[in-house]
Chain A
Amino acid sequence: MREKLVLLAQRLVSEEIAPENFQGEIIAIFEQAQAACVRQFPRNAQPSLTDQPPTARAGTTATLFLRIKNNCWIINLGDSRTIVYDRDNKWLAASEDHGFDKDTIVAMRKQGYLVDESAVPLGGSVYGGLHWDDGGEDTFGVSHAFGHSSIVLPTSIELPNGHVGLLCVPDVQGPFAMADVLHVVVCCDGVTDSFPDSSKFLPTVLEGPQAWVKAAYEQASSKGDNISLIHWDLTKRELS
């Protein structure tokens, strides 16, 4: 994925890709990533939860901050978030966590998906990834980033290589002017639960790595989750 993103950025810089086609390009990259995830879990190879990674509730999610010269784009899929600190000294959530609300359920049912509404934690508690439904047939579901674990897909929907699953496309926002951005923080996985209110964590970003890393870690670990973050302090950048 790294190579594909670099290639995409280079093509954007050289203006090989028109801005109106950018969204399609980035979505294609995510689709390929999703297909790679699906291939890792053969449909008939449901793992034992005792000696294997907890794949029944496994998942994936991603967020991406992409700067091309003096503009930037925010790409987000699932339970991740990109936050910026602007020149007005305000922290702004540049992306929206993908929640799982009633509207989504209705929309999915219209598309033929089977949704166990009683098992869906509305308004949060989302997690990303891939899921086997071990309560019935050998169906293959995909949780929040590319679906939700409470979703059971009709077997009529086939993914390549014989897998069944659900795809989500990422939100793509931009371009935004880089001139107004002083800090960028990208957070991955568990942010909806771990960081429903970012106000406690974000001010520590301005105090330096030791402070904000400690704060972020403690906040995430209090929910029993891990976390990965990237912070870009543009006030220190040498490249312009």
Chain B
Amino acid sequence: MFLFPFSYTNCRSYLPAAAAITPFVGLVAYVAQSTLKSNAIKAPSLKLFAATVASSLALGYLTRLALSYLQAQPRELEQQPPQKETVSIGLDRMACELFKCTTDSGKFPDKVFDVEVQTSSGITDVHTTGPELKYQEDSTVVVQTRDYTILGVFDGHSASPESDIKTPPASNSLNLLKMK
């Protein structure tokens, strides 16, 4: 019955209107109730039914509007991460064969190749590590919210940038050079 597009933007625009008509809904309900009471004997059951239906619809509309607004709040994906899906693409063994690598037991290592797909945001995050490259595990930063996105890849080769960042350096005393 209510063909509103309940998008986030529209909900925001409808809210002031909803707030504006709420007193009128109450007024209409009050008038209808008073009328029915004063003409209780004469009031046809159809009027009572119509008033009940109208009140229910109005209440339902407002409830749905409020609910839609709440659901349309910006989602902080840091708190509600998108559905993650590990995709097996059959490269683990191939990677090992390419690197001709096995563990001491002669078996292929469990993880040489990781693929992580964050399906709801279209982000695919991939790391590769070969045994002879076991010191070169990189780290990534993926943060996705409505307002901002951070896609960062940091080479972890013998240096983990996020592992120990507590004391800011006295950078103004350093000789900075922009290599380009």
Contact = CB atoms under 8 A, between A and B. Distances in A.
Contacts, number: 272
Contact of B180 (A33, A58, A64, A96): A96
B175 A209 contact: no
Contact of A231 (B123, B144, B166, B171): B123
Interface stretch (B29-37, B48-56, B62-70, B126-134): B126-134
B87 interface: yes
A166 B158 contact: no
Contacts of A31: 168-169, 171, 174
Interface of A is mostly: mixed
A200 interface: no
Interface residues of A, number: 96
A209 B124 contact: yes
A79 B153 CA distance: 11
A169 B129 CA distance: 27
Most buried by B among A72, A104, A130, A229: A229
A188 to B, nearest CB: 3
Interface in A73-124: 78-80, 96, 98-100, 104, 107-108, 111-113
Interface residues of B, number: 70
B164 A62 contact: no
Contact of A189 (B75, B138, B145, B152): B138
B148 A62 contact: no
A177 interface: no
A59 B167 contact: no
